[in-house]
Amino acid sequence: MPVEIRELIIKTEIKTKNDENISLKENEFLVFKEEILETCKRMLTEGVKKINYRR
């Protein structure tokens, strides 16, 4: 019986030229973070719906 194991690892590193020019306020950062999380959750749930395995 074949067994399939999937693993995805994404590593990123973000560098800025001037750390002094960062002007995001804490509230803006939190809103941005929530938007990214919601988008990722939506994409994951849509991906699960598209997969239809026949067993």
- Per-residue pLDDT tens over the stretch 13-36: 887 776 555 566 778 888 888 999
Global pTM exceeds 0.85: no
- The helix/strand/coil state of 46 is helix
pLDDT level of residue 37 (50, 70, 90 thresholds): very high
Instruction: Say what the pLDDT of residue 7 is.
Output: 82
Instruction: Say what the pLDDT of residue 15 is.
Output: 78
Amino acid identity, position 35: E
Percent of the chain with pLDDT over 70: 67
Identify whether the C-beta of residue 52 lies closer than 8 Å to the C-beta of residue 46.
no
Identify whether the C-beta of residue 16 lies closer than 8 Å to the C-beta of residue 22.
yes
